Amino acid sequence: MPVWRNFFLGSEPRRGRGPFRRLDIEHMRRTTRAELLRMGIDLRDVDQPIGTLSGGERQCVAIARAVHFGAKVLVLDEPTAALGVKQSGVVLKYVAAARDEGLGVVLITHNPHHAYLVGDRFVLLRRGTMVGNHTRDEITLDELTKQMAGGADLDALVHELQRG
């Protein structure tokens, strides 16, 4: 389906009355283009199939859609996992834009560099148990990386490997 159709999926505006109501396709195209541009996303054509977009572009369309429809919280589970460095940067830019628009953003990631670029608070979980809760000014990227990699468990492993 085209980008504009995906953007409005489940919330399609209609024109007309009674049995003659039909989708307002021009409104959806204009709105999709305007909302994507407002987020800094300049697609070649909103009529192109959503499947022809890169993974990063699809993530950005989803973020712009959430912002447009008034989401209060955006939960992103590993949004950069299958992306290259450049595309990851694009997605993180839009995550920061959504945060700056006032949305609460929960970014679930195993990449401390990505988390540190856009995060204000870092909650670390290990097997479903919280093992860390830090604001950005309480932790450095190196310490965050160490804690995400296992912290004390990693130190014990290093020590064990050096002995044997």
Q: Confirm whether 137 is domain-assigned.
A: no
Residue 82 maps to a domain: yes
User: DSSP label at 158?
Assistant: H
What does pTM read for this prediction? 0.74
Domain count, the chain: 1
User: Residue 132 domain-assigned?
Assistant: no
* Residue 109 forms part of a structural domain: yes
Identify whether 69 is part of a domain.
yes
31-45 confidence digits (pLDDT tens): 999 988 887 778 889
Q: Is residue 159 part of a domain?
A: no
pLDDT tens for 54-89 read 888 888 888 889 888 989 999 999 988 888 888 888
Range of the domain at 47: 3-119
CATH number, position 28: 3.40.50.300
Q: Is residue 147 part of a domain?
A: no
44-81: b (≥16 Cβ within 10 Å) or e: eebeeebeebebbbbbbbbbbbbbbeebeebebeebbe
pLDDT confidence of residue 31: 94
Residue 65: closest CA among 138, 5, 13, 19 = 5
| 113 belongs to a structural domain | yes
Structure tokens, 88 = 């990851």
User: Looking at the predicted structure, is the pLDDT value of residue 27 above 80?
Assistant: yes
| Three-class secondary structure of residue 160 per DSSP | helix
